[in-house]
Amino acid sequence: MSTVETADLRATTRSVYITFIFLGVAMASFAARIPQIRDHLGLTPSGIGLVLLAIAAGSITSLPLAGHLVHRFGSRTMVGTMAVLLGTALAGAAIGYQYGVVPVVIALYVYGFSTGAWDVAMNVQAAVVERRLGRSIMSRFHAGYSVGTVAGALAGAGAVKAGLPVTQHVIIACVLVVIAVVIAVRGFIPDETTPEDGAGKSGGALAAWREPRTLLIGLFVLAFALTEGAGIDWINIALIDDHGTDASTGTLGFAVFLAAMTVGRWFGPNLLDRYGRVPVLRLLAVTGLAGLLIFVFGPHPAIAFGGALLWGLGASLGFPVGMSAAADEPAKAPARVGVVASIGYCAFLGGPPLIGFLGDHFTVSRGLLAVAMLLVLSLALTPALREPAGAR
């Protein structure tokens, strides 16, 4: 690789990091204010779970189309367009919650739609960069996402503590996200597909849904997506309602979970390159399971914080490694990443109402035990993510 190509690839790598980081900022900026939105609307745990279901419904709508759209328009155009749509939708939710549930549900549906397409597109570009570099760095891009979520969560905690209204806080965050991402995507390089690739045709996309390995990877990602999503949606509420903390402390617990995910994703590539995907993922599944149980049954908030830390570490690599595994063959990457992401996002479709329903009948913390069963299942699915022969 020439010096010019190396410099261009470094610039592209920075651009991809920025798109991951600011998707995290957007998500956490809204998620940090969920307790205040819930209280304003007077919702029960199952009620807020159903509202959050709109995000997953939007994502599920866009994901089956995302692979084809990325192939047709390119990851650069898709990420930039979806960033503008996402910022508009979250700003709408931040204004709409003052007028009732319906405006929030509509805005969150659009937010979920844009998130799903953005996610597939930036993962396709990240897989291109990973292959060009010849190193397992996908999880570091996802660490960038986690850095964004930590920054957004800490800013959210500060906004809550300072009494900054939800609407002002979220709109400021949205403006920053849109500006940063629209500029960053200019550094993307062409995706490694051609018009003749089956991945871009409807037949190729349908064929990916019939591949056993792709479906198993999708189920694995589903388990880890629920593990990650449950922490994002419910840790602060569980700390406030079940562990008796105040709102700002609950948000800090959310930040601890996200910080642990960031650490796992940043240092994960070294472990993956040295030991391979399967042993590392098995260890993390066990770690996440232990952390979840400590969080649920810990008798003191400080112990629950420790559980949140282990939970975040355990959840850190499942989604990014699943994306890498789906993209092992470049020409089929858009279709397979779309399939795996579609299955994984079902966790965001079913997770909020499931845990909310259990929270109404037991507690939110006890409802989180449903996640433990899928983590156990993920242990049996890890062989499907093994690297292709000769990749290590």
Amino acid 195: pLDDT: 43
Residue 30 backbone phi and psi in degrees, to 5:
-75, -45
Amino acid 6: pLDDT: 67
Q: Who contacts 327 (Cβ-Cβ below 8 Å, separation ≥6)? A: 123, 124, 127, 130, 333, 336, 337
- Half-sphere exposure in the Cβ direction for 233 (13 Å, CA): 31
Amino acid 206: pLDDT: 74
- Calpha distance 22→20 (Å, rounded): 6
pLDDT in tens, the chain (392 residues): 555 466 688 889 999 999 999 999 999 899 888 888 988 888 887 788 788 888 888 988 888 788 788 888 889 999 999 999 999 999 999 999 999 999 999 999 999 999 989 988 998 899 888 888 878 788 899 888 878 988 898 888 888 888 899 999 999 999 999 999 999 999 998 886 544 444 444 445 678 888 999 999 999 999 998 888 888 778 888 888 888 888 878 888 888 898 898 889 889 888 998 899 999 999 999 999 999 999 988 888 889 999 999 999 999 999 889 988 988 887 787 788 888 988 887 776 677 667 777 777 777 777 788 888 889 989 999 999 998 875 55
Can you say how many angstroms the Cα of residue 315 is from the centroid of all Cα atoms in its chain? 11
Amino acid 347: pLDDT: 76
- Calpha distance 160→37 (Å, rounded): 12
Task: Kindly report the pTM of this predicted structure.
Answer: 0.73
Q: Who contacts 275 (Cβ-Cβ below 8 Å, separation ≥6)? A: none
Which ranges of 134-211 does DSSP label H, i.e. alpha helix? 138-162, 166-184, 202-208
- Phi-psi region at 387: left, alpha or beta (left = phi > 0; alpha = psi -120 to 50): beta
Amino acid 107: pLDDT: 95
